[in-house]
Amino acid sequence: MPALDTQTKVAVVGAGAMGSGIAQVAAQAGHQVYLHDQREGAAEAGRDGIARQLQRRVDKGKMPQQELDAVIGRIQAVAKLDEVADAGLVIEAIIEDLDIKRQLLANLEDLCAGDAILATNTSSISVTALGAEMTRPERLVGMHFFNPAPLMALVEVVMGLATSKTIAETVHATAAAWGKKPVYATSTPGFIVNRVARPFYAESLRLLQEQATDAATLDAIIREAGQFRMGAFELTDLIGHDVNYAVTNSVFNAYFQDPRFRPSLTQKELVEAGRLGRKNGQGFYPYGEGAEKPEPQTEPTRQSEETVLIVEGNPGAAAPLLQRLKEAGLTLVERDGPGQLRFGDAVLALTDGRMATERAATDGIANLVLFDLAFDYRTASRLALAAADQTSEAAISSACALLQKAGIAISLIADRPGLLVMRTVAMLANEAADAALHGVATIADIDLAMKAGLNYPEGPLSWSDRLGAGHVFNVLTNIQNSYAEDRYRPALLLRKNAFAQKGFYS
């Protein structure tokens, strides 16, 4: 279906940050836009806020003044809801309350023409439930933008049970015409992003609760090794713990308290203490004047005269690390083996989901030190290491010295299953695979949503494929065995692909 013509008027109901942002997007795309809010003066304030935002672009030379004037000229603040009656697309962006949204949609059905599309920007309420009391629920579709709407590329086009395929396709095409990256999703709890992203927060929170290391170190590892834009603690401080914790609880309860989505006691404590993050000056980190963010724990430089690295077998996903070590001046000697490295007193291996202590005892490996996954070992500036309880201090020093020779900062964390980046990526891929299995979205749309909506360095299913067929399944199986918890059960599609020795895109 083609996109809506720019002659089609667009109405946005709700002039808060999200609603105003959506209005700006539509106006910049060339539509005449009505901006309405029931609060007196809110629509005008929203329009003025858009003007201020765009004026900054003009002042920096990124937008001509006449373009700003044209955009603002296309946005009309309206005081009464019935003034949006001739809009061809109405997007509601009001409070996340089922009954209030239903009442608004009923009013819009009465006001607007029969062929007008009604869209909801809800992030957590079922589109099916919102449309259940409408006369024509087929005209309702989810159009979930991400904050800030003018900057974030993703729009989830969410289809309820009754949503017309034609309407969904029109909205999808319209979002693309507005310069966005739209994806289709079915109306299930959390849609794509708010469901699949849960493990990103959950695994860091779990490791913090298990005293693997501190928040600043975990954030540094996920950024500098995983190449995520922000660590989980920085991000939840930015979002607000009240908001993030509420979304986690919503998804947890919506999925009948499936342990995969279990909320964190650590985050619950922060919310109960009123430490909500940046918004009130204290979360995992302090904010405000004079506040200093703690530094991550980094191992001091270790010295080693050893220059020979023995490579036993194929190191798999860690293979790019070998070239980096070779360029650092080490001599590589290759021989058969289980995919591990020997340097000085240490045996190093990429985590397979088991604790180092368990793996050392089970496989009979003396002085084992495990290293974490990196998005790109050629450029990673930090790696997490975990040593088995049986490993000597000399071996730990050798392992640190090896990676430091390649210019990699080392964070030595407590021995926990899967370390941090590996278990986070594995759990993201697991949730993505389960969403694909249940038809929430296509594999390609899930990966696109996580990249465009949250700036992930790679889609979790693409990343899973890059690690190799069955790799994520094996990691999760080992983590599940370690914890004996259903939380880490591998998704059926991951299991199937592992036994078929194929990836999601093959």
Q: Which member of 36, 144, 172, 471 is catalytic?
A: 144
Q: Which member of 20, 92, 109, 156 is catalytic?
A: 156
Q: How far apart are CA 218 and CA 212, in angstroms?
A: 9
Q: How far apart are CA 142 and CA 22, in angstroms?
A: 13
Question: Is 194 a residue of the active site?
Answer: yes
**CA dist 473 → 135, 196, 431, 466, 494 (Å):** 46, 17, 12, 13, 6
Phi (first) and psi of residue 268, to 5 degrees: -60, -40
Q: How far apart are CA 219 and CA 226, in angstroms?
A: 10
The closest of 57, 63, 55, 51 to 24, measured between CA atoms, is: 51
Burial of 166 (0-12, 13-18, 19+ CB in 10 A): exposed
Amino acid at 27: A
Q: What is the DSSP letter of 286?
A: B
What's the token pair of residue 238? 């930015």
Q: How far apart are CA 146 and CA 155, in angstroms?
A: 7
Amino acid at 345: D
Question: Is 506 a residue of the active site?
Answer: no
- DSSP result, 45-84: HHHHHHHHHHHHHHHTTSS-HHHHHHHHHTEEEESSGGGG
**Helix 17-28 vs helix 42-59: angle between axes, to the nearest 10 degrees?**
60
| 120, HSE (Cβ side, Cα atoms, 13 Å) | 33
Q: Which helix or strand (DSSP H or E) is residue 216 part of?
A: helix 215-224
The closest of 145, 148, 133 to 183, measured between CA atoms, is: 145
| DSSP count for the chain of H helices, then E strands | 20, 15
Which residues partner with 395 through β-bridges?
Answer: none
Q: Is the dihedral of CA 123, 154, 19, 246 positive or negative?
A: positive
Q: How far apart are CA 274 and CA 284, in angstroms?
A: 12
Question: Is 121 a residue of the active site?
Answer: no
Question: Is 96 a residue of the active site?
Answer: no
Q: Which member of 121, 126, 194, 367 is catalytic?
A: 194
The closest of 196, 337, 218, 329 to 266, measured between CA atoms, is: 218
Q: Which member of 20, 109, 121, 123 is catalytic?
A: 123
- DSSP result, 233-281: HHHHHHH-HHHHHHHHHHHHHHTTT-GGGPPPHHHHHHHHHT--BGGGT
Residue carrying structure tokens 């020795």: 501
What's the token pair of residue 359? 């793996």
**Which residues carry out catalysis?**
123, 144, 156, 194
